[in-house]
């Protein structure tokens, strides 16, 4: 595994984590209001 693919993998993981946390925040907001 070279550096570029490693960086892309980490970037993809961060994007996935951001999407999950954003969905969780939206679910909490919708549940509260």
The per-residue pLDDT for 19 is 95
> Residue 32 has which token pair?
């509260």
* pLDDT band of 1, cuts 50, 70, 90: low
Length of the chain equals: 33
Q: What is the per-residue pLDDT across 7-23, written as a single tens digit (0 to 9) for each?
A: 999 999 999 999 999 99
pTM confidence score: 0.63
Phi then psi for residue 11, to 5 deg, are -65, -45
Structure tokens at 28: 């909490």
Q: How far apart are CA 22 and CA 16, in angstroms?
A: 10
Q: What is the pLDDT of residue 12?
A: 94
Q: Which residue's structure tokens are 């693919």?
A: 5
């925040």: which residue's tokens?
25
């Amino acid at each position: 595994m070279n550096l570029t693919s490693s960086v892309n993998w980490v970037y993809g993981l961060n994007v996935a984590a951001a999407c999950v946390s954003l969905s969780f925040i939206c679910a909490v907001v919708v549940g509260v209001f």
